Structure 1
Amino acid sequence: MTMSRFLIPLVALAALGGQAFAQTATQPAPAKPAAPATAPAPTQTAPAAKPAAPAAAATQTKKINVNTATAAELDTLKGIGEVRAKKIVEERGKAKFKDLADLVKRAALPANVEAEIKDKVSF
């Protein structure tokens, strides 16, 4: 009786385990195509390409004007989501923002977000 108590669950686990392992059989890797014959290297080398750093710097230095930006543009700023962007648009409809302190004072922007976006916005 005690032998069957251990044997039945063991057989059940083996049957379930066998099915799981049967599905994980490895497949051979696809064959790589033969490499085409390469032409001899040209004797002259092309000038090195210039890095794209100026373009990246231009996008980073472009400031978003809080008084004219759309809600979608404001949403791209870190710490400003869809709800805060709509709040900013509503508040500037009443009166234009003078500076970052005015933006915080009118409860359109929390003070902790002020430090994150101060270099990315203009008025």
Structure 2
Amino acid sequence: MAKETHKSCRAGRSVVIATSLWLMAGTGFAATASTSTEALPAGHPQQAQSSKKATQKPAPLIDINSASKAQLKTLYGVGDAEADRIIAARPFKTKTDLVTTAGLPTGIYVANKHKIIAIQKTKSSPKG
């Protein structure tokens, strides 16, 4: 009976060791997959990519009162029909008028509100 206990302990120990190795391998994988660029050594390619992203300027805002159909179609969820509705409903006082006046779905507006602006044309005073 002592030999049977010894064999079962050895088998149990093997299972524990195999499970531990499996968990350590999984943890190591997760750690390497989620490493930040701060932990990378200087000159690492991923560190260079992240610094380029940080120095890039954001894309210029699209003026919904003067943008072409092609420019409007670069916005998320805006196709030919939506671009035509936007152009037909001009001028807009605010960018939220896209929903109330042009009938653009709220979800499309929310996805694009940080990319658009509604610039008002200034009236020139008559000279004379």
TM-score by length of 1: 0.49
